[in-house]
Amino acid sequence: MTIKVAPSILAADYLNLAHDVALVENAGAELLHIDVMDGSFVPAIAYGPNWVKALRKVSNMTLDVHLMAVKPERYIDEFAAAGADIIGVHYEATNHIHRALQQIKGHGIKAEVVINPGTAVSLIEPVLYMVDQVLVMTVNPGFGGQKFLPEMIEKIATLNQIKREKGYDFDIEIDGGANDETTKMAYDAGATVAVAGSYVYDKVDPAAKIAKLKEVTAD
Ligand SMILES: O=C(CO)[C@H](O)[C@H](O)COP(=O)(O)O
Ligand SMILES: [Fe+2]
């Protein structure tokens, strides 16, 4: 087994997005990570549902939508209709995380709960029975190109232990600062999906970077 790779289009060439997406799909990336930023939960603004609709037309990859938005309930239906396969909502962004996850599942797609570096795994334990994926932020959300926080490895191990003890089968995803070294560390702790933005889209050879992530996590 190897880690599944989810290139983040935040680091792609926006004017040649179709090309950059095809490149990672042909290189074996399983998911495409789409960062949605509302200018409030995080300072930046990025990618509305029309982008997901357009990407759906050109890609068969699993479209992995990371909603960095306050009250994400307001946007779930639109992103599901646009063709998202997975929608992730931040624990910190809503008073009603359980209801938001129910809303996602109501569309027949995968539901993901996301935690910031400052949020403990114990806070999301009550919803772990109902999620398909847990995203452990390995940087503070909002920007690409930040440094991986090694302290987050312990959270991955804790989630992996809960998964085994309770018989859950959610994926564990990391997002932020992924490279071959940090992805290997996360994989060894139990991560099953790595989002990689700047590491993959380094303008040199995205296919080689994906191959490297697969190589270092090959069992
Ligand atoms: O959610 C995100 C930022 O909030 C991005 O997915 C993340 O930053 C990916 O970029 P990089 O791999 O360059 O760290
Ligand atoms: Fe992200």
ipTM of the complex: 0.98
Residue 44 has pLDDT above 90, yes or no: yes
Compute φ and ψ for 141, nearest 5 degrees. -70, 155
CA distance linking residue 84 with residue 32, whole number of Å: 10
Q: How far is the CA of 196 from the centre of ligand 1 (A)?
A: 7
Residue ID of nearest Cα to ligand 1 atom 4:
141
Compute φ and ψ for 129, nearest 5 degrees. -65, -20
Beta carbons of 30 and 5 less than 8 angstroms apart: yes
pLDDT-derived band of residue 219, with 50, 70 and 90 as boundaries? Answer: confident
Residue 181 has pLDDT above 90, yes or no: yes
pLDDT-derived band of residue 42, with 50, 70 and 90 as boundaries? Answer: very high
**Known binding site for substrate: residues?**
8, 66, 142-145, 175-177, 197-198
Residue range 186-215: mean pLDDT, rounded: 96
CA distance linking residue 64 with residue 29, whole number of Å: 12
Residue 137 has pLDDT above 80, yes or no: yes
Provide the mean pLDDT of the chain.
98
Q: What is the pLDDT of residues 5-26, one digit of tens each?
A: 999 999 999 999 999 999 999 9
Query: Which of 38, 175, 183 for a ligand 1 pocket mutation test, highest count of atoms within 8 Å of Cβ?
Result: 175
Residue range 128-145: mean pLDDT, rounded: 98
Q: Which ligand is nearest to the CA of 144?
A: 1
pLDDT-derived band of residue 46, with 50, 70 and 90 as boundaries? Answer: very high
Domains of the chain, first to last: 4-216 (3.20.20.70)
Residue range 64-87: mean pLDDT, rounded: 98
pLDDT-derived band of residue 159, with 50, 70 and 90 as boundaries? Answer: very high
Question: Considering only CA atoms, which of 116, 217, 95 is closest in space to residue 176?
Answer: 116
pLDDT-derived band of residue 203, with 50, 70 and 90 as boundaries? Answer: confident
- Establish whether 175 is a catalytic residue: yes
Residue range 165-173: mean pLDDT, rounded: 98
Check pocket membership of 171 for ligand 1, CB cut-off 6 A. Answer: no
State the pLDDT at residue 202: 86
Residue range 103-121: mean pLDDT, rounded: 99
Check pocket membership of 33 for ligand 1, CB cut-off 6 A. Answer: yes
Looking up tokens 């359980």 gives: 98
Q: How far is the CA of 66 from the centre of ligand 2 (A)?
A: 5
Model confidence pTM above 0.90: yes
Q: Which ligand is nearest to the CA of 116?
A: 1
Which amino acid is residue 110, in one-letter code?
K
- Establish whether 35 is a catalytic residue: yes
Residue range 80-87: mean pLDDT, rounded: 98
**Known binding site: residues?**
8, 33, 35, 66, 142-145, 175-177, 197-198
